[in-house]
Structure 1
């Protein structure tokens, strides 16, 4: 007798992932048809979306704030895009001028909103810097502003929008040019006034169970009246975790008092958390790294090596002199690059992912580093998929970038990114000076607190995710309807991965598979009982027809690099291993027999 399979992740189209999470970074697209419908802009999908991935979907709290700003400071037909500083807003204006040279520059302008208390800066306001720089532009030019928002990753977060919108509504956040016209008294929402500790006895470590309303997480888990000054300590703890020197799952106060974890710290002499820089998201770290590098030798093209996440390639193509794209990431392409270099061509930088997404191939970092040293170009490695507990790529890079939104956080409710400088790289002194002169810390205070709390159990989560992913690989490898499995352990480039693998490292939680037909892929995906949506690195297993979501308008181009339109990508989570195996076997058994 066959027992019916009970679906537990039947989450409706457009619901946030995790469900009922105000600041979630993923959204449910539970069927193949829903993913296509999203890409086609079909109303039955788009109208139901409560949220989306933050660089592609303007969060409702951000949009409400933008509408309020336009209502007060704009003109008929205007729209606004919100950024955390005037400097970033100015870059958006520059992007407008290049993408739309026909646009009357008087139609696009910046409104800088600052606290009314700015002239007598309170400690709280100086620590959280609740400023907003709004770029106002004609509504019909929204695609240009959206492209800058998406590619740069430098837009404001939804939590910043909520906080600053509250100030704005109370008249406590005003146009800088009118600062002298308003009273200066309000210091922000009441919950930020009293100074308390987030690590007191009734704080997060003393609570059992989960908070019912995720929007109250900071207040309920960290004390009703949050001491926002602890943001600085939260950021320091996050930077130490990224450096690998803090790996214990302990509260904030205890964490900062611990000795350095020498076993898991990144194995580069003289490296400390002072070489770690936080950004609003991973793409922001890539965008700003590229921008900084161009100030050294801006006339040179860069190289994108291996099939990358879409916006990395777009950044290098759109914000600078362009790039040479080696989409296979193969030894033969390195041979071609070496010939170009020997012939006298010079490049600014080589951008690569370790391993790549979604094919999980690993570039030959040893050879790339040797070429970079010989021919003087920068190497930027995105370690998001591999993560530093599994691989140590810093010795081969000038800059290591990562999205902290993913497995570092795990909870899928906060954005973050990092850029790490290698103190032993040839041009470290130049880069260090560039970052010290240029860097703006725009990671919002509340986001930093979430990120610190989420990342405390990073080590144990990675160990479990590694094990679960290998178990799923075994299931997929053994099934005759799976055409190809992509995973670092089973990749033809495993030797390159293993050269960077740490003594305790595994092969990560991301894998993908292709099938012999589109019908097989759809049947498998629609019967796979996991959460389904964009993003990766979540504590829950998350699946998507990745190529449909990331490259829907360029499927033939992606296919030319071996990236099949019917590929299904899996970000493996923390579920019980046996349960995950049953879920995947059921989906495989749902593929119709020939």
Structure 2
């Protein structure tokens, strides 16, 4: 898969800018090794952007997807200001087109089949809406699908894809302790949320959703931009939640377990009780916590997760899952509806995911332990102001499975604010870029990457821009700590 072993040879220095993480054609992360690289990336500096050999797939076009999009534009002889957006199915492309025309009724948006993929062709009026849908809904063609369409890779047999999807569902059913028929697979975690929002929108048409707790940006943006709206409630007290439920009467309540990057959980048990008393379903995101560590199904009606992260662990495949709770009063309706999502997980991606996740039961406990070891050491270091980790979250503790851990993610803040964070980040000898859950450690100034245009708002929510987020990998814990010690001395 990779010619560079990121456990011992991480992408952390200036000359590593733009390297794919991992060293794979289908990497979903990219090296931004210096603080200045992160700023340049956010400022769309061509000197930075032109060096990127990979990108998180929803935030931009993978080079192979970009190649196919260009081919689609040439195929239809589109005007110079047009854009092409490749999708794996006609249903996904149609959903994107419908969103564009809802936002801009007079725009031009058509669908053309190019090399077996369905390409939405948009004019300059429709393209901003098409870009938003691409990012938030997570339904776009994967790099493997683009590679096959371009003839760069062979297409696997559908039977092999079916077998892989079946094994993944079996694996997830064992993790979640529910029937396999209540688990659906999707091309990304956000696509799984898109499916969940379709289900609750059919149940309660025209209603917005209510998100409780500091949000991952796209979990909030997807219902806001593509569906009937969403309201964010950062005060998760029972009184505030009850008042918001009564006032908004939402289609669903959305929670993240735990939140990103604060790594705290709202009181899911109380929130679920308040919502269910009012006939409102609960959607939970357990991507960071992991279904191996926590069990949200007794209190949630729908649980979605990005399988790209800890489940796969390699960082070179995009996928998601949606699990219908066996105890949900809407179980029958949701199970039926989840089978008609705009797009499922493609054959090539399913085969890769099945192979990558074979060691998930052994790997995630190791990631848990390595992260906890680093947390303990960081908390004792005089340069560290605070460490954020779910081990001190009562709700996370209440949801934990027997013998489980707290996940692979931590965030920490340094005394000295941004200047100190810059020095430590630049000196830290681990791979640096977005995403999490990889077998190699990843660090990033998460707030800059996720909330660059709203840093003051994030700070008002108690999330400082100089916070460093770390996804801890499988490196030897003592050797990893030596790298952190050297950086903290910077």
The TM-score with structure 1 as length reference comes to: 0.78
Which residue does 1:391 correspond to in 2? 294
| Residue 94 of structure 1 pairs with residue 98 of structure 2 | yes
User: Equivalents in 1 of 2:446, 2:88: separation in Å?
Assistant: 30
Structure 1 equivalent of residue 3 of structure 2: none
Q: Which residue of 2 aligns with 1:291?
A: 198
Superposition deviation, residue 576 in structure 1: 0.6
Indicate if the aligned counterparts of 2:29 and 2:433 stay in contact, CA closer than 8 A: yes
Asked if structure 1 preserves the Cα contact closer than 8 Å seen for 2:186 and 2:345, the reply is: yes
1:510-549 superposed matches below 5 A: 510-516=409-415, 517-549=417-449
Check conservation: 1:475, 1:585, Cα contact below 8 A: no
Partner residue of 2:407? Answer: 508
- Aligned counterparts of 2:22 and 2:377: Cα–Cα separation in 1: 26
Gaps of 5+ in 1: 1-5, 115-130, 168-188, 193-225, 246-264
Give the CA deviation at 1:444. 1.4
Cα shift at 1:386? 0.5
- Alignment partners' CA distance in 1, 2:372 and 2:275: 34
1:162 maps to 2:64: no
Bigger relative CO (Cα 8 Å, ≥ 6 apart): 2
Deviation at residue 450 of structure 1 after TM alignment: 0.6
Q: Which residue does the alignment assign to 1:338?
A: 242
- Alignment of 1:435 with 2:338, yes or no, is yes
2:157, 2:341 → 1: CA distance?
25
- Check conservation: 1:538, 1:573, Cα contact below 8 A: yes
Partner of 2:111: 110
How much does 1:476 deviate?
1.2
Give me the whole-angstrom Cα distance separating, in 2, the residues matched to 1:406 and 1:339. Answer: 35
1:142 has 2:127 as partner? yes
The count of aligned residue pairs is 479
Aligned match of 2:471 in 571, 575, 582? 571
1:22 aligns with one of 25, 43, 47: 25
Deviations 1:242-285 (A, max 9, x none): 12x2xxxxxxxxxxxxxxxxxxx434xxx211111000010111
CA RMSD between the two structures:
1.9
1:432–1:287 distance in 2 versus 1, CA, 3 Å? same
- Residues 89, 134 of structure 1: 8 Å contact kept: yes
**Native 8 Å contact 1:475 1:584 kept in 2:** no
After the TM superposition, list the runs of 4 or more consecutive aligned residues in structure 1 that deviate by more than 3 angstroms: 6-11, 139-142
Q: 1:85 aligns with which of 82, 89, 96?
A: 89
Superposition pairs for residues 147-546 of structure 1, below 5 Å?
147-166=132-151, 228-243=158-173, 245=174, 265-267=175-177, 271-328=178-235, 330-331=236-237, 334-341=238-245, 345-436=248-339, 438-490=340-392, 494-516=393-415, 517-546=417-446
How big is the shift at 1:470? 0.9
Q: Measure, in 1, the Cα distance between the counterparts of 2:485 and 2:255.
A: 34
Shift of 1:112: 3.1
Return the alpha-carbon distance in structure 2 between the equivalents of residues 140 and 540 of structure 1: 42
1:282-318 CA distance string (max 9 Å, x none): 0111112112211111222211111121001101211
From the CA coordinates, give the structure whose radius of gyration is larger: 1
Alpha-carbon offset, residue 345 of structure 1? 4.8
By how many angstroms is 1:101 displaced?
3.5
Question: Residues 440 and 9 from structure 1, CA distance in 2 versus in 1: closer, same or farther, beyond 3 angstroms?
Answer: closer
Is this contact kept in 1: 2:28–2:56, CA < 8 A? yes
Which residue in 2 is equivalent to 1:183? none
Aligned counterparts of 1:8 and 1:46: Cα–Cα separation in 2: 21
Find the aligned partners of 1:345 and 1:293 in 2 and give their Cα distance.
15
Whole-angstrom distance in 2 between the partners of 1:235 and 1:293: 25
Correspondence for 1:561 among 436, 448, 461: 461
Which TM-score applies when normalising by structure 2? 0.94
Taking a change above 3 Å as real, the CA distance of residues 344 and 66 of structure 1, as seen in their structure-2 partners, is: closer
Q: Unaligned 5+ residue runs, structure 2? A: 1-7
1:7 offset after TM fit, Å?
7.8
Alpha carbons of 1:535 and 1:448: their partners in 2 closer, same or farther (altered >3 Å)? same
Shift of 1:164: 1.5
In 2, Cα distance between equivalents of 1:98 and 1:557: 29
Q: Which residue of 2 aligns with 1:204?
A: none
Please tell me whether the aligned partners of residues 304 and 322 of structure 2 are also in contact (alpha carbons under 8 angstroms).
Answer: yes
Q: Displacement, 1:141?
A: 4.6
1:58 correspondence with 2:43: no
- 1:351-407 Cα offsets, whole Å, 9 max, x none, are 111011100001211111211221111100000000011111111111000000001
Report deviation, 1:524: 1.1
1:55-114 Cα distance to aligned partner (Å, 9 max, x none): 0120111111111122122323232111112222122112212332342xxx32111357
How far residue 483 of structure 1 moved from its aligned partner, in angstroms, is 1.6
How far off is 1:147 after superposition? Answer: 1.1
